[in-house]
Amino acid sequence: MKDYIKEVEKLMQIPEGYCKACGKCCEIATARGSITYKELLKVANGETNESEAVINSANDFLSTFMPFNSIDEARNVNSDFVDMILKSTKKNEHEITFFHCRYLNKDKKCQIYEDRPDFCRFYPAVDKRTFFFKGCGLEKIIKENIKKVDDIIDYLEQKAKNNGQQI
Protein backbone atom coordinates (compact mmCIF):
# COMPACT_ATOMS: atom_id res chain seq x y z
CA MET A 1 0.00 0.00 0.00
CA LYS A 2 2.89 2.35 0.77
CA ASP A 3 4.08 2.04 -2.82
CA TYR A 4 0.67 3.21 -4.09
CA ILE A 5 0.69 6.15 -1.71
CA LYS A 6 4.18 7.17 -2.81
CA GLU A 7 3.20 6.84 -6.47
CA VAL A 8 0.08 8.98 -6.01
CA GLU A 9 2.05 11.61 -4.09
CA LYS A 10 4.59 11.71 -6.92
CA LEU A 11 1.86 11.98 -9.58
CA MET A 12 0.15 14.83 -7.70
CA GLN A 13 3.26 17.04 -7.88
CA ILE A 14 3.55 19.65 -10.63
CA PRO A 15 5.99 18.17 -13.15
CA GLU A 16 9.09 20.30 -13.69
CA GLY A 17 10.29 21.38 -17.10
CA TYR A 18 6.93 21.51 -18.87
CA CYS A 19 5.84 25.10 -18.17
CA LYS A 20 6.54 27.38 -21.12
CA ALA A 21 6.53 30.54 -18.91
CA CYS A 22 4.11 32.20 -21.34
CA GLY A 23 2.30 34.17 -18.62
CA LYS A 24 -1.17 33.23 -19.84
CA CYS A 25 -2.21 31.87 -16.43
CA CYS A 26 -1.32 35.24 -14.90
CA GLU A 27 -2.86 37.55 -17.49
CA ILE A 28 -6.32 36.05 -17.02
CA ALA A 29 -7.66 33.77 -14.29
CA THR A 30 -10.76 32.82 -12.39
CA ALA A 31 -11.05 32.36 -8.67
CA ARG A 32 -11.77 29.05 -6.99
CA GLY A 33 -14.82 27.49 -8.61
CA SER A 34 -15.13 30.36 -11.10
CA ILE A 35 -16.99 32.53 -8.62
CA THR A 36 -17.65 36.26 -8.64
CA TYR A 37 -15.51 38.92 -7.01
CA LYS A 38 -18.24 39.52 -4.39
CA GLU A 39 -18.36 35.80 -3.56
CA LEU A 40 -14.59 35.69 -3.28
CA LEU A 41 -14.62 38.69 -0.93
CA LYS A 42 -17.08 36.84 1.32
CA VAL A 43 -14.75 33.85 1.44
CA ALA A 44 -11.74 36.09 2.15
CA ASN A 45 -13.61 37.89 4.93
CA GLY A 46 -14.60 34.62 6.62
CA GLU A 47 -18.30 35.10 5.86
CA THR A 48 -18.67 31.54 4.60
CA ASN A 49 -18.08 28.12 6.16
CA GLU A 50 -14.72 27.68 4.43
CA SER A 51 -11.64 26.42 6.24
CA GLU A 52 -8.88 28.74 7.37
CA ALA A 53 -6.68 27.44 4.55
CA VAL A 54 -9.30 28.39 1.94
CA ILE A 55 -9.78 31.81 3.55
CA ASN A 56 -6.01 32.40 3.47
CA SER A 57 -5.83 31.28 -0.14
CA ALA A 58 -8.67 33.67 -1.07
CA ASN A 59 -6.81 36.52 0.60
CA ASP A 60 -3.58 35.59 -1.18
CA PHE A 61 -5.45 35.48 -4.48
CA LEU A 62 -6.99 38.92 -3.87
CA SER A 63 -3.63 40.39 -2.89
CA THR A 64 -2.20 39.19 -6.20
CA PHE A 65 -5.08 39.29 -8.69
CA MET A 66 -7.35 42.19 -9.58
CA PRO A 67 -10.75 41.83 -11.26
CA PHE A 68 -11.12 43.00 -14.82
CA ASN A 69 -13.50 45.95 -15.06
CA SER A 70 -15.74 44.08 -17.48
CA ILE A 71 -16.17 40.82 -19.32
CA ASP A 72 -15.21 42.67 -22.51
CA GLU A 73 -11.88 43.67 -20.96
CA ALA A 74 -11.26 40.01 -20.10
CA ARG A 75 -12.25 38.93 -23.60
CA ASN A 76 -9.72 41.37 -25.07
CA VAL A 77 -6.99 39.50 -23.18
CA ASN A 78 -8.11 35.95 -24.01
CA SER A 79 -11.56 35.41 -25.50
CA ASP A 80 -10.95 31.67 -25.95
CA PHE A 81 -10.36 31.25 -22.21
CA VAL A 82 -13.44 33.31 -21.30
CA ASP A 83 -15.60 31.25 -23.65
CA MET A 84 -14.12 27.96 -22.40
CA ILE A 85 -14.85 28.88 -18.77
CA LEU A 86 -18.38 30.06 -19.50
CA LYS A 87 -19.15 26.94 -21.52
CA SER A 88 -17.63 24.43 -19.11
CA THR A 89 -19.12 25.99 -15.97
CA LYS A 90 -22.49 26.62 -17.62
CA LYS A 91 -22.53 30.04 -15.98
CA ASN A 92 -23.44 33.30 -17.61
CA GLU A 93 -21.16 36.33 -17.82
CA HIS A 94 -22.51 37.86 -14.60
CA GLU A 95 -21.86 34.74 -12.51
CA ILE A 96 -18.08 34.75 -12.95
CA THR A 97 -15.40 37.37 -12.46
CA PHE A 98 -12.18 37.19 -14.44
CA PHE A 99 -8.97 38.47 -12.88
CA HIS A 100 -5.46 39.49 -13.89
CA CYS A 101 -2.23 39.52 -11.91
CA ARG A 102 -1.12 42.93 -10.71
CA TYR A 103 2.53 41.80 -10.80
CA LEU A 104 2.74 40.67 -14.42
CA ASN A 105 4.86 43.06 -16.45
CA LYS A 106 4.52 43.89 -20.15
CA ASP A 107 6.92 41.04 -21.03
CA LYS A 108 4.56 38.62 -19.23
CA LYS A 109 7.12 38.03 -16.48
CA CYS A 110 6.38 38.07 -12.77
CA GLN A 111 7.79 41.06 -10.89
CA ILE A 112 7.67 39.17 -7.57
CA TYR A 113 8.63 35.71 -8.81
CA GLU A 114 10.98 34.89 -5.91
CA ASP A 115 8.36 36.03 -3.36
CA ARG A 116 5.21 34.88 -5.16
CA PRO A 117 2.41 33.33 -3.07
CA ASP A 118 2.14 29.57 -2.61
CA PHE A 119 -0.89 29.28 -4.88
CA CYS A 120 1.25 30.67 -7.72
CA ARG A 121 4.08 28.27 -6.89
CA PHE A 122 1.71 25.29 -6.99
CA TYR A 123 -0.30 26.29 -10.06
CA PRO A 124 -1.76 24.58 -11.94
CA ALA A 125 -3.38 22.22 -9.50
CA VAL A 126 -3.16 18.56 -10.43
CA ASP A 127 -6.94 18.31 -10.48
CA LYS A 128 -9.61 17.28 -12.98
CA ARG A 129 -11.25 20.70 -12.59
CA THR A 130 -8.16 22.64 -13.67
CA PHE A 131 -8.59 24.65 -16.85
CA PHE A 132 -5.60 24.82 -19.15
CA PHE A 133 -4.75 27.49 -21.66
CA LYS A 134 -4.35 26.58 -25.30
CA GLY A 135 -0.76 25.44 -25.77
CA CYS A 136 -0.03 24.96 -22.05
CA GLY A 137 3.00 22.71 -21.71
CA LEU A 138 1.65 21.18 -18.51
CA GLU A 139 -1.77 20.10 -19.76
CA LYS A 140 -0.85 16.74 -21.31
CA ILE A 141 1.40 15.50 -18.48
CA ILE A 142 -0.98 16.62 -15.75
CA LYS A 143 -3.95 14.95 -17.45
CA GLU A 144 -1.87 11.78 -17.87
CA ASN A 145 -0.95 11.89 -14.17
CA ILE A 146 -4.59 12.37 -13.15
CA LYS A 147 -5.53 9.34 -15.27
CA LYS A 148 -2.81 7.27 -13.56
CA VAL A 149 -4.08 8.34 -10.12
CA ASP A 150 -7.64 7.40 -11.14
CA ASP A 151 -6.38 4.02 -12.34
CA ILE A 152 -4.65 3.38 -9.00
CA ILE A 153 -7.79 4.36 -7.07
CA ASP A 154 -9.97 2.15 -9.29
CA TYR A 155 -7.57 -0.76 -8.83
CA LEU A 156 -7.52 -0.37 -5.03
CA GLU A 157 -11.31 -0.04 -4.85
CA GLN A 158 -11.72 -3.18 -6.96
CA LYS A 159 -9.20 -5.02 -4.81
CA ALA A 160 -11.06 -3.99 -1.66
CA LYS A 161 -14.33 -5.27 -3.15
CA ASN A 162 -12.63 -8.61 -3.81
CA ASN A 163 -11.46 -8.85 -0.18
CA GLY A 164 -7.87 -8.01 -1.02
CA GLN A 165 -7.42 -10.74 -3.61
CA GLN A 166 -5.38 -9.96 -6.72
CA ILE A 167 -7.45 -8.79 -9.64
CB of 138 closer than 8 Å to CB of 101: no
**Domain map of the chain by residue range?**
1-19+137-167, 23-124
3-state secondary structure of 67: strand
Q: At what angle do helices 2-11 and 139-161 cross, to 10 degrees?
A: 160
Per-residue pLDDT of the chain (167 residues; tens, 9 = 90+): 779 889 999 999 888 899 888 889 999 999 878 899 999 999 999 999 999 999 998 999 999 999 999 999 999 999 999 999 999 999 999 999 999 999 999 999 999 999 988 888 888 888 888 888 888 999 999 999 999 999 999 999 998 888 766 65
Phi, psi dihedrals of residue 101, rounded to the nearest 5°: -75, 130
